Structure 1
Amino acid sequence: MTAQRHLDRALAQLRRMACMDAGGPQRIAPVLRALHGLIGFDSGGYLYRRSDGELDIHMENPAMRSVMPALFEPRVQHSERQVMRRSARLLDEALRCERGVQMQHDLVKVPLAELRRSDYYNAVLRPGEVEMAMKLPLRTADGQGIGILWLYRRDGERRFTGDEAAVLGRLAPGLARALQPGRLEGAEAHDAEVCGQGLLVVTAMGRPLWLAPGTEALLAQAFGWRWRGCGGALPAALQVLVQRLFLPNVRPGVPLPQMDFSNAHGVFSLRATYLAGRAGEADAAAIHITRRVPGGTRLLERLGALGLPRRQAELACWLARGLSEAQSAERMGVSVNTVTYHRRHLYAALGVQDRQGLLRCVHETTPAG
């Protein structure tokens, strides 16, 4: 396949994502999958703000996720300022000042040998399996900053090329449309899928006492590096939730403290409930957590797991969303006859006879990622 066809395929995937009812950071996993087929990078990351305004970082590589707490240590931050032109944490400043793709020489202000001797490199980059990086600030058509996309390579000899930067730059408008935050409403809100529930019990001072099975993973998805495990301090937002529960004016009939936000992993709802201690025991709080994923995002994940050819996957997406063949043809930029051709091959590939069979097949598929 030619480079141009690879680029056209990636653009089509981004258009499909952008046409869903709700966009935002929840699209980052399929976005990175589309980019992997186009640019040879080992892992990607995305720096953005959650729906509640908090800074958040999505990292594909578990090794990079594990070193995120070090990025916020004063010693490492001081080292980062010495070797990098701008801190990776300064999202708003980067979106305000930077334009276009940033290559390695745009990011680092010291020679490579000096970078490799720094605390920043040895606490973050080396254990995070990063030797080369390229980043792209993303903005909407009207110039509003959305987030920063990072691509990483492990091999220091494989620098990103100007051609690869040019390809990423051409994709920037489509990437911004796919990742632009949108509200969860209408049909998308109605078919949002509950993908996890958990329970955390803490003391009135916020010390974790017990977690239900699966809750640890949910809290890591919700709070990222801020969740330090059951032995660490609660993230600040959770501490505030518990403190609100034990305020003197909290009485029966008063709504329970609750917080809701969305990030790259979905929409999270957390509710605190008062637990009265037995004789001789202190009172505690139960924090119920629910993760939901919009239907459009879940559909993309499931279609990715089916491994269909591009046109069949694109058509399956629109048919599963309830569009007619004529509407699908308009979205895909092809004729109705071409849609009919792809539908026949799609149904044959999945072993189904009609749209209901397609929906059943997609629903029964374990989502990718």
Structure 2
Amino acid sequence: MPPTRIQLQATARLHQMACLDVNGPQLIEPVLHELHQLIGFDTSGYFYPGSGGALDAYVEPSPARDLMHTYFDSAVQRSERKVVRRSAHDFAEAVRCEHGPQVLEQLITVPVSELLRSDFYNLALRPAELFDCLSLVLRTPQGQGVGSFKLYRGSASPRFDADDVAVFGRLEALLARILQPGELDAQDSVVNESAMLLVTPQGRMLWTSPQADLLMAQAFGPRWHHRSALPAQLEMLLQNLQFAARNGHPRGGFAPAPPQLELHNASGWFSLRATQMADAAGEGQAVGIQITHRVPRVARLLPALRALGLPQRQHELAYWLARGLPEPEIAARMGISAHTATYHRRQIYTRLGVQNRLELQDLLLEKR
């Protein structure tokens, strides 16, 4: 069956993403949006080497993400090793051994009937309403691991078939190019959300809002599930705050800046700042932790452009205009003449009702 118009557009947008001026796991959300147009799946996970060397994970908003902490339970992981050839934790082994898309039967070491009786399935997959899986390990041209996709379907959905495998396989090099880590530039980002939570100086949770809870889960992943104990990095932040409070600052000098923690992952950049809260008597009884979430401008720009439904050439040119490239450079990147670039730029401005680049950037980056 020939590809549909929607599938052709999704493929074109992935090709465009592979030629952008930024790349890395922060582009996972727009990538997954296009993948959903090309391969039907219910939810997905993307596992990749994090900044600290440990494996990090991005799971789409779904019951699976809410239950992700279960997957990290030691009993579930022991059960997984008995039925799965390589768990998502065994990324280095997967890079060595997995080539091309892998369907469920290639990923498990036991019959499907035995998988369905395992703790791994009944404690991790079944509550998340997941069953079938299609896996793909991404590598650089030099063979270095970039990340690993896990696409999932529920038991009520059809199994992944040969057509799904073929489509995923054709996208392998493209996806690796888009998600290969590049230079991080926190200045090239915009504030997405900010929220506050309160804890005791010893780290016991006092209050949090749903918004703060969501941001903390995005920043810390499954480590945020067990609220009785804060993640180790937050514990250190509180210790730094107490140390600063004990030592004070010289008479007439400046107060030390509140201790701050910086994290980054596929969801963006997270800044956490701890501030001592004082009661009426002037004694600190709580610590406020402000969490600010920033996302790369490109991660905001791509969905905004997609929503406009521009023709592909105008879509691409609008991206470079919003990124601030001069028109001669845009024309060279796109392989068109300067006159054609000017013509398309005028068409874009007229279509969107803007007068110049600043108004275009405001339309695409500031309005949500």
With the shorter chain as reference, the TM-score category is 0.7 to 0.9
Tell whether the 8 Å contact from 2:223 to 2:231 is kept in structure 1 after alignment. Answer: yes
- Segment of structure 1 superposing worse, 339-348 or 82-91: 339-348
Measure how far apart 1:99 and its partner are.
2.4
Could you say if the C-alpha distance between residues 361 and 284 of structure 1 is closer, same or farther in structure 2, counting changes exceeding 3 Å?
closer
Name the structure 2 match of 1:127: 127
Measure how far apart 1:122 and its partner are.
1.7
- Segment of structure 1 superposing worse, 259-268 or 207-216: 207-216
Could you say if the C-alpha distance between residues 92 and 156 of structure 1 is closer, same or farther in structure 2, counting changes exceeding 3 Å?
farther
| Separation of aligned partners in 1, 2:177 and 2:316 | 17
Name the structure 2 match of 1:297: 299
- Segment of structure 1 superposing worse, 164-173 or 24-33: 164-173
| Separation of aligned partners in 2, 1:132 and 1:213 | 31
SS in 2 for 1:190: coil
Could you say if the C-alpha distance between residues 302 and 36 of structure 1 is closer, same or farther in structure 2, counting changes exceeding 3 Å?
same
Measure how far apart 1:256 and its partner are.
4.7
SS in 2 for 1:37: helix
Tell whether the 8 Å contact from 2:327 to 2:341 is kept in structure 1 after alignment. Answer: yes
User: Structure 1 residue 117 and structure 2 residue 113: aligned?
Assistant: no
Tell whether the 8 Å contact from 2:43 to 2:62 is kept in structure 1 after alignment. Answer: no
Measure how far apart 1:70 and its partner are.
0.8
Could you say if the C-alpha distance between residues 18 and 165 of structure 1 is closer, same or farther in structure 2, counting changes exceeding 3 Å?
same
Name the structure 2 match of 1:234: 230
Give the letter aligned to residue 3 of structure 2.
A
Measure how far apart 1:134 and its partner are.
0.8
Measure how far apart 1:323 and its partner are.
2.5
User: TM-score w.r.t. structure 2 length?
Assistant: 0.85
Q: Deviations over 1:212-252 (max 9, x none)?
A: 673222212211222127x5421222123223433599633
- Segment of structure 1 superposing worse, 207-216 or 33-42: 207-216
User: Structure 1 residue 53 and structure 2 residue 53: aligned?
Assistant: yes
SS in 2 for 1:3: coil
Tell whether the 8 Å contact from 1:267 to 1:292 is kept in structure 2 after alignment. Answer: yes
Name the structure 2 match of 1:141: 141
| Separation of aligned partners in 2, 1:44 and 1:363 | 27
| Separation of aligned partners in 1, 2:282 and 2:38 | 63
Name the structure 2 match of 1:98: 98
Q: Deviations over 1:165-217 (max 9, x none)?
A: 232222222211211222233xxx43421112222222232111133673222
Could you say if the C-alpha distance between residues 245 and 356 of structure 1 is closer, same or farther in structure 2, counting changes exceeding 3 Å?
closer
Measure how far apart 1:338 and its partner are.
5.2
What is the identity percentage for the equivalent residue pairs of Structure 1 and Structure 2? 50
| Separation of aligned partners in 1, 2:257 and 2:78 | 44
Name the structure 2 match of 1:211: 208
Name the structure 2 match of 1:273: 275
SS in 2 for 1:271: strand
Measure how far apart 1:5 and its partner are.
7.6
- Segment of structure 1 superposing worse, 340-349 or 73-82: 340-349
Could you say if the C-alpha distance between residues 322 and 75 of structure 1 is closer, same or farther in structure 2, counting changes exceeding 3 Å?
same
Stretches of structure 1 lacking an aligned partner (at least 5 in a row):
none
Aligned length in residues: 362
SS in 1 for 2:274: strand
Name the structure 2 match of 1:200: 197
SS in 1 for 2:247: coil
| Separation of aligned partners in 1, 2:159 and 2:90 | 24
| Separation of aligned partners in 2, 1:279 and 1:348 | 61
| Separation of aligned partners in 2, 1:3 and 1:213 | 41
| Separation of aligned partners in 2, 1:336 and 1:3 | 33
| Separation of aligned partners in 1, 2:237 and 2:97 | 36
Tell whether the 8 Å contact from 2:277 to 2:284 is kept in structure 1 after alignment. Answer: no
Name the structure 1 match of 2:30: 30
